[in-house]
Amino acid sequence: MPKFLIERQIPGAGNFSSDQLRAISKKSREVLCVLGTDIQWIHSYVAGDKIYCIYLSPNEELIREHARLGGFPANSITEIANVIEPFTAE
């Protein structure tokens, strides 16, 4: 299944409390349960005014629907072509 990087511009995200991040996570999971097993949230990175999320999804449209139902932005959605890491050099 295709893997996507979603950039969410959320002012102050890097300063969110544990409770705020828990609430966002809970809402995301609730929406994922409604959408079914075709879309999966892998993990997210919180940095500055953005949250970068990694999702598995058959298409970009399902990711946009997740964002719409969750009430959070999906400012940029990019399909991940490949992953490199230190071991790639070997």
Tens of pLDDT, residue by residue over 13-69, are: 999 999 999 999 999 999 999 999 999 999 999 999 999 999 999 999 999 999 999
DSSP string, 49-87: TEEEEEEE-S-HHHHHHHHHHHT----EEEE------GG
Looking at residue 79, its pLDDT comes to 98
Instruction: Report the distance separating Cα 77 and Cα 14, nearest Å.
Output: 20
Nearest to 30 by CA among 69, 64, 61: 69
Domains, the chain, ranges and CATH? 3-89 (3.30.70.3090)
Distance from CA of residue 13 to its chain's centroid? 14
Nearest to 53 by CA among 36, 70, 37: 70
